[in-house]
């Protein structure tokens, strides 16, 4: 999630995809390099150094200062999520470091990836597919809404999603 330079805190979540569980979370305001160092330490602790045969992937939101964090992590040799995006200048698809969020991609990310895990979608055991033992995350979910456009209504073709005024969505975007 975003870091210094915006209203939201930087947020890092460690997901154990085999268990379907958030196993660690960090949140705060630090500079880009320190944010990258924290990502590296968490990836090593929960990945390679955990004794498991794992190669952890890191996905940092590309917007705002995330560009610098992604470049720093790439230089550190970390495995980064890449997002295919259309380069208007070169007229071709390029794989950008990190996760690109925009008014177009944010609703898609929420609807296709996060919502099925935290909604009524359950595993065979009857438990949610993703277990998030973090009350602050769930409080942010309660204030995450679709906003009206500048013309006074919600446009289904271009919904703007985010936290209500005065609230944050950094932990939601972290997921």
Find, among 102, 149, 137, 146, the residue nearest to 9 by Cα.
Answer: 137
Q: Are 169 and 144 in contact (CB under 8 A)?
A: yes
pLDDT above 90: percentage of residues in the chain:
5
- What's the pLDDT score for residue 38? 92
The DSSP line for 115-171 is HHHHSS-B-TTSSBSSB---HHHHHHHHTEEEEP-TTSS--TTS-EEEEPTT---HH
SS3 58: strand
pLDDT tens-place string over residues 59-90: 888 776 678 888 888 888 888 888 888 888 99
Mean pLDDT across the chain: 76
Those residues whose C-beta lies under 8 Å from the C-beta of residue 44, and which sit 6 or more positions away, are 56
**Structure tokens that stand for 66 in this block:** 């995330």
Alpha-carbon distance of 77 to 70, in angstroms, equals: 11
**51 pLDDT band (50/70/90 cuts)?**
low
Strands 144-147 and 57-58: unpaired
pLDDT digit string, tens, across residues 83-126 = 888 888 999 998 888 888 877 777 777 777 666 555 545 555 55
Q: What is the pLDDT of residue 158?
A: 62
Report yes or no: 12 and 174 within 8 Å, Cβ to Cβ.
yes
Mean pLDDT of 2-27: 75
Highest mean pLDDT among 15-24, 133-142, 156-165: 133-142
Pick the closest to residue 86 from 67, 68, 100 (CA basis). 100
- Residue entry with tokens 């939101």: 61
Tokens 């560009």 found at: 67
151-162 pLDDT, tens digit each: 555 555 666 777
C-alpha distances in Å from residue 113, one per residue of 46, 104, 175: 22, 15, 9
pTM: 0.72
2: confidence class by pLDDT, cuts 50, 70, 90: very low
Provide the pLDDT confidence category of residue 1 given band limits of 50, 70 and 90: very low
Asked if 21 and 33 touch (Cβ cutoff 8 Å), the reply is: no
């Amino acid at each position: 999630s975003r870091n210094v330079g915006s209203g939201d805190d930087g947020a890092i979540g460690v997901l154990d995809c085999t268990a379907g569980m958030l196993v660690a979370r960090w949140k705060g305001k630090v500079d880009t390099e320190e944010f990258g160092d924290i990502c590296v330490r968490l990836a090593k602790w929960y990945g390679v150094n955990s004794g498991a045969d794992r190669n952890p992937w890191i996905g940092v939101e590309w917007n705002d200062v995330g560009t610098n964090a992604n470049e720093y992590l790439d230089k550190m040799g970390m495995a980064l999520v890449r997002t295919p995006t259309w380069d208007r200048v070169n007229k071709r698809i390029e794989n950008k470091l990190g996760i690109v969020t925009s008014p177009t991609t944010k609703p898609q990310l929420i609807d296709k990836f996060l919502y099925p895990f935290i909604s009524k979608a359950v595993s065979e055991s009857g438990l949610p597919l993703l277990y998030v033992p973090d009350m602050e995350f769930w409080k942010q979910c309660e204030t995450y809404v679709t906003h009206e456009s500048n013309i006074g209504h919600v446009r289904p073709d271009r919904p703007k999603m985010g936290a209500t005024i005065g609230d944050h969505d950094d932990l939601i975007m972290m997921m």
